[in-house]
């Protein structure tokens, strides 16, 4: 189709936005022309105008138009894809409850706006933290949008896990398949090597080192965000943008045959994850829809880790329910 794909990006003047917008505009989602709809808070609009000047200066052939603004109902009008990146970071002295409340305000408003004005085929990906719970808040505030249209980003964790396993085994990243991140996009997430494969062989067996798996691999993946902040002085941005693109591309165009990806999506009770929580699962995607991979055997080691991360998601849900956000 030559009708442009309308893609909303929130927090467009932020660091992830600075990488994401140029990838989107240069064709990372395919050949279809795209129209960017960029949402920011009012004080950041001047910065965003500067970013738009740079986008213009790239003369991207497939960039059909750009609109910016601070009103969600205007910016989200008719969007087919909404990438919700903007969120309120935890400031000094801010308690967890304050953080949930500040983000709750953002994601209730954006959920309502999407409900009112997005295109019927809209897909909504949440990158802004706490991503799973922000997605839950937006989903709950958009009752007319099918719940399956919401997801939270765990693709960066997924890609980090692939990279760590590739480095450990000496295999190219293209040989690593069937990776899964379970649970929350947080330090409790569980990157699973028992179903992952290295060139078609079971990854845990190939590595053959439970100590590495437990005491190096899992914490390295789960705490990678903090390691990046430590090294770079600011949080992951280009890699988060790249993962946001990977997730959107696979959602719209389908995951690879004979492989799966990790996405945090609304649970139907699969693998004992309480229905309604937005938790990361192994999923396949096709024609804009996802399906949780069924029938994987979960041993006691994996069970305990999945349960711990899911318990944290249930706590976050209870906290935002108490605040009246869902």
Binding residues for NAD(+): 11-17, 103, 110, 127-129
Q: Which among 24-32, 121-129, 268-276, 286-294 is the span making contact with ligand NAX, rule CB under 6 A?
A: 121-129
41 versus 314: smaller Cβ distance to ligand NAX: 41
**CB 285 → ligand NAX: shortest distance, Å?**
18
- Total interface residues for ligand NAX by CB under 6 A: 29
d(CA 70, CA 35): 17
Q: Catalytic residue, from 70, 158, 178, 185: name it.
A: 185
Backbone φ and ψ of 28, nearest 5°: -65, -20
From the CB of residue 224, how many other CB atoms can be counted at a distance below 10 Å? 19
Active site residue 185: yes
Among 5, 6, 8, 11, binds ligand NAX (CB under 6 A): 11
**CB 93 → ligand NAX: shortest distance, Å?**
18
**CB 261 → ligand NAX: shortest distance, Å?**
14
DSSP summary character for residue 39: E
Among 7, 9, 16, 218, binds ligand NAX (CB under 6 A): 16
| 162 binds ligand NAX, rule: CB under 6 A | no
Element (H, E) at 37: strand 34-39
| 45 binds ligand NAX, rule: CB under 6 A | no
Among 4, 15, 99, 202, binds ligand NAX (CB under 6 A): 15
Identify residues 185-214 at the interface with ligand NAX (CB under 6 A).
185
Residue pair 252/165 in contact by the 8 Å Cβ criterion: no
Residue pair 245/29 in contact by the 8 Å Cβ criterion: yes
As annotated, the binding site for substrate includes 90, 96, 129, 160
**Residue 228-247 contact track with ligand NAX, rule CB under 6 A, x = bound:** -------xxx--x-------
| 129 binds ligand NAX, rule: CB under 6 A | yes
Q: Is 40 exposed, middle or buried (0-12, 13-18, 19+ CB in 10 A)?
A: buried
Dihedral of the alpha carbons of 110, 113, 118, 120, in degrees to the nearest 10: 100
**CB 202 → ligand NAX: shortest distance, Å?**
27
Residue pair 157/221 in contact by the 8 Å Cβ criterion: yes
Cα dihedral sign, 125-127-132-136:
negative
The residue with its CB nearest to ligand NAX is: 14
From the CB of residue 24, how many other CB atoms can be counted at a distance below 10 Å? 26
What is the DSSP code string of 250-319?
HHHH-PPTT--EEEEEE--SGGGPPTT-EEEEEEEEETTEEEE-------HHHHHHHHHHHHHHHHHHHH
Q: Which among 36-44, 60-68, 170-178, 278-286 is the span making contact with ligand NAX, rule CB under 6 A?
A: 36-44
Binding site for ligand NAX (CB under 6 A): 10-11, 13-17, 39-41, 44, 85-89, 106, 127-129, 131, 153, 156, 185, 225, 235-237, 240
């Amino acid at each position: 189709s030559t009708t442009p794909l309308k893609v909303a990006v929130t927090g467009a003047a932020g660091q992830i936005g600075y990488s994401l917008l140029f990838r989107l505009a240069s064709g990372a989602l395919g050949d279809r022309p795209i129209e960017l709809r960029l949402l920011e808070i009012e004080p950041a609009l001047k910065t965003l105008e500067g970013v738009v000047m740079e986008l213009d200066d790239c003369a991207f052939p497939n960039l059909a138009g750009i609109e910016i603004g601070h009103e969600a109902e205007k910016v989200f009008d008719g969007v087919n894809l909404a990438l919700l990146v903007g969120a309120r970071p935890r400031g000094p002295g801010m308690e967890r409850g304050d953080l949930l409340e500040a983000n709750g305000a953002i994601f209730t408003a954006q959920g309502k706006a999407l409900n009112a004005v997005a295109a019927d085929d809209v897909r909504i990906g949440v990158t802004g933290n706490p991503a799973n719970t922000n997605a839950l808040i937006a989903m709950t505030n958009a009752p007319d949008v099918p719940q399956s249209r919401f997801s939270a980003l765990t693709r960066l964790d997924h890609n980090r896990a692939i990279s760590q396993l590739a480095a450990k085994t000496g295999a190219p990243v293209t040989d690593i398949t069937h990776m899964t991140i379970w649970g929350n996009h947080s330090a409790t997430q569980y990157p699973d090597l028992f179903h992952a494969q290295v060139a078609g062989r079971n990854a845990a067996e190939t590595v053959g080192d439970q100590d590495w798996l437990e005491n190096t691999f899992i914490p390295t993946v789960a705490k990678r965000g903090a390691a990046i902040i430590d090294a770079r002085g600011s949080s992951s941005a280009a890699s988060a943008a790249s993962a946001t693109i990977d997730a959107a591309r696979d959602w719209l165009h389908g995951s690879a045959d004979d492989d799966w990806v990790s996405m945090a999506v609304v649970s139907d009770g699969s693998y004992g994850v309480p229905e309604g929580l937005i938790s990361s699962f192994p999923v396949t995607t096709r024609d804009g829809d996802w399906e949780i991979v069924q029938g994987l055997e979960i041993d006691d080691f994996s069970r305990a880790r999945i349960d711990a991360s899911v318990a944290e998601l249930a706590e976050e849900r209870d906290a935002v329910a108490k605040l009246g956000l869902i």
